[in-house]
A and B are shown apart, each in its own frame.
Chain A
Amino acid sequence: MKNASIGSYILRRLLQTVPVILGVVIVNFLLLQLAPGDLATVIAGEAGGATPEYIAELRARFGQDQPLYVQLLNYMGNLLTFDLGYSFRQSAPVLDLLLDRLGPTLLLMGATLVVSLSLGIVLGLLAALWVKTWKDHLISVTAVLLYATPLFWVGLMLVLIFAVKLDWFPTSGMEDVVAFHEGWDRVWDIAHHMVLPTVTLSVFYLALYARLMRASMLEQRGLDYVTTAKAKGLTDAQITRRHVFRNALLPVVTMAGVQTGSLLGGSVVVEAVFAWPGLGQLAYQSLFARDYNLLLGIFFLSAILVVVVNLLVDILYVILDPRIRLG
């Protein structure tokens, strides 16, 4: 594959993300219009009441007396320069708050992706190899059960069993802040805190990938190239390892990319359960503070994150699978 064609492909995919991001900006703006109370009344309220003249002056200062389309253009300009506004509840620019919380969320999502993908692929592979035996049924039944379980409840049950009863893991947080661990001690401490949230967020996706992998393996195994490989004299193990497994992986990888958005949503719930100091917990806190500016900022950043991950997956996909034409 020529590098030039990959370059133009990436460029074209980048251009395709523009409408999505614009769409999110417009949705955000409309939601902000719907939100009860505008910025001026919020500030006035924080100040403990204000005269109508003062509120009018504030509105003028924020450009809220302008026509709607001018406000939209201003808003777009702000977002595109990453000015996400100011959170009056937290007394900090929204962007600073978000960047503070992005790391823990990415850590949780990354760990979840690794755990759910690797275990899901292995379980799906085993189920396909053991198809129609009791082991296959056991894996399938477990997957169906996990599929139906509310995420937040999994988290609470894990806390009940492994933190409250057995005391193996901490109930919440990302690290023991009063212990002032440094270096590897700190890494170990964070890893210890991460086990339960990661397992909680992983179970649903694990079930999803396992089911998909099983179906994908069974489908690939019935295709013509397998017959050809058999005729060529390859053993079943060789065919599975070299041909079927690799082809069966592709839909699972695609699905993993598609699920980024849903993973972020799941992390809101998991972070709320485990007080994990990421974007999700920030969203949870902003709900109670009615801090809509912050909430919409989180939504905007999350949408961008999803777009970026999808872009990376697509590029990875083209590199992995030479059959995908770039035309």
Chain B
Amino acid sequence: MKSFNARFYGNPRVYLGLIWLAAVVIVAVFAGVFAPRDPFAIVGQPFLPPGSEGFLLGTDSLGRNVMAGLIHGARTTLMIAVLSTVAAVAFGTVLGALAGYYGGIVDDILMRLTEFFQTIPWFLFAIVLVAILSPSAMNLVIAIAVVSWPPIARVVRAEVMAVKAREFVQAAVVAGQRDMGILFGQILPNTLSPLIVTGSLMVATAILIESALSFLGLGAPGQMSWGFMIGAGRSFLRDAWWLVTVPGVVILLTVLAINLIGEGLNDALNPRLADL
């Protein structure tokens, strides 16, 4: 059987995904270097089409540089997506682990809670949360995390239940390790691979949620984001197609890249399922 590296990096789709994602991450981290000026600054004539001198992707209705907006937007969008995923993974892991490890009534209560969050219209719930907590980067992270954790809890619970029955866990019990030590030291490290797959795909979903919320006007105020750019450009769809088209393509490619990497990870970590 081929190694993880061969299966993961040998996959051309993963390669394409990694290249695009790496580019976006570099641009996001060094946004200030690539676009030193404030993305909200008015730097030229309004509605310059893409390819105009000095403005590769044109300018918007106020004469702001679309390229600079995309560069700074990458930072906002990625940061919110990654932070909310980290929060969702942390919360979902703890809940799922407790449910899977203790079983019985604890499991019942926690799983009913998980089902509850999966039943309610989650996007509407995110909208309500951001609207009531007032839009800010922090509250976007909270809202996205609150609606994203249930799949993590389910995955971790199932894995913990499977691993719990294995002999090395029983050995740890016999050796007198405490519950938390067994759970976090013995069991959870063995549930990592599905967690990594689910978590990486979740970043893509988080980007889509963040973009949709920003599009609806619930984005972090004062921070450029891709969804905000589309929302601001939609009134000028008739005359300035690029204001909506370009940020949308960037969101699509980024989400696609993460999905490809996530699926590549899945194929590489679970080789038996790769054919399906």
Please say whether chains A and B are actual partners in one complex: yes
A262-274: CB near B (< 8 Å → 1, else 0) gives 1011101100110
The answer to whether A264 and B251 touch across the interface, beta carbons within 8 angstroms, is no
Task: Say yes or no: is B105 at the interface (Cβ < 8 Å to chain A).
Answer: no
CB–CB A156/B237 < 8 A? yes
User: Does residue B123 face the partner (Cβ distance < 8 Å to A)?
Assistant: yes
| 9 A-B pairs whose Cβ atoms sit less than 8 Å apart in the complex | A20-B116, A31-B132, A268-B127, A269-B123, A287-B127, A288-B217, A302-B124, A303-B119, A310-B119
Instruction: Kindly state whether residue A145 has any CB partner on chain B within 8 Å.
Output: yes
**Chain A residues within 8 Å of B215, by CB:** 150, 152, 269
Chain A residue contacts of B112, Cβ below 8 A: 19
Residues of B within 8 A of A258 (CB): 118
The total of interchain contacts (Cβ-Cβ below 8 angstroms) comes to 133
CB closest residue in chain B, given A33: B132
Q: Which of A145-191 contact B (CB under 8 A)?
A: 145, 147-153, 156-157, 159-160, 164
A160 with B237: CB separation less than 8 A: yes
A312 → chain B closest CB, angstroms: 14
Across the interface, A283 reaches (CB within 8 A) one of B127, B133, B211, B244, namely B127
- Cβ-defined contact, A261 with B122, below 8 A: yes
Q: How far is the CA of A23 from the CA of B215 in the complex (A)?
A: 29
Q: How distant is the Cα of A85 from the Cα of B4 in the complex, in angstroms?
A: 58
Chain B interface: which of A40-48, A90-98, A117-125, A291-299? A291-299
Q: How far, in whole Å, are A149 and B234 apart by their CA atoms in the complex? A: 17
- Is there contact, CB below 8 Å, between B208 and A150? yes
CA of A140 to CA of B250, assembled, Å: 21
Interface positions, chain A 212-259, Cβ under 8 Å from B, are 215, 218-219, 258
Given known contacts A31-B129, A164-B237, A268 and B256 CB-to-CB distance under 8 angstroms: no
Residue ranges of A at the interface with B (Cβ–Cβ < 8 Å): 19-20, 23-24, 27, 31, 34-36, 144-145, 147-153, 156-157, 159-160, 164, 215, 218-219, 258, 260-262, 264-266, 268-269, 272-273, 283-284, 287-288, 290, 292, 295-296, 298-299, 302-303, 306-307, 310
- What's the Cα separation between A288 and B131 when bound, in Å? 9
- The reply on B270 being an interface residue by CB < 8 A is no
Describe B's contact surface by its main secondary structure. Answer: helix
Give Cα A219–Cα B234 distance, bound, in whole angstroms. Answer: 43
Task: Count residues of B near A (Cβ-Cβ below 8 Å).
Answer: 42
Q: Determine whether the beta carbon of B125 is less than 8 Å from that of A23.
A: no
A261: which B residues are within 8 A, CB to CB? 118-122
Q: How far is the CA of A27 from the CA of B255 in the complex (A)?
A: 31
> Chain A residue with minimal CB distance to B211?
A150
Residues of A within 8 Å of B119, CB to CB, are 20, 261, 303, 306-307, 310
Q: Which residues of A contact B128 (CB under 8 A)?
A: 31, 295-296, 299
Complexed CA–CA distance, A273 and B238 (Å):
14
CA distance A13 to B237 in the complex (A): 48
**At the interface, yes or no: B218 with Cβ under 8 Å from chain A?**
yes
Question: In the complex the two chains form, is A265's CB within 8 Å of B241's CB?
Answer: no
CB-CB under 8 A from A27, the residues of chain B are 120
Across the interface, which residues of A come within 8 angstroms of B260, CB to CB? 144
Nearest A residue to B117, CB-CB: A23
- Asked if B276 is an interface residue, CB under 8 A from chain A, the answer is yes
B245 on interface, CB distance cutoff 8 Å: yes
Residues of B within 8 A of A266 (CB): 123
Look across to chain A and name the residue whose beta carbon is closest to the beta carbon of B239: A164
Interchain CB contact under 8 A, B134 and A36: yes
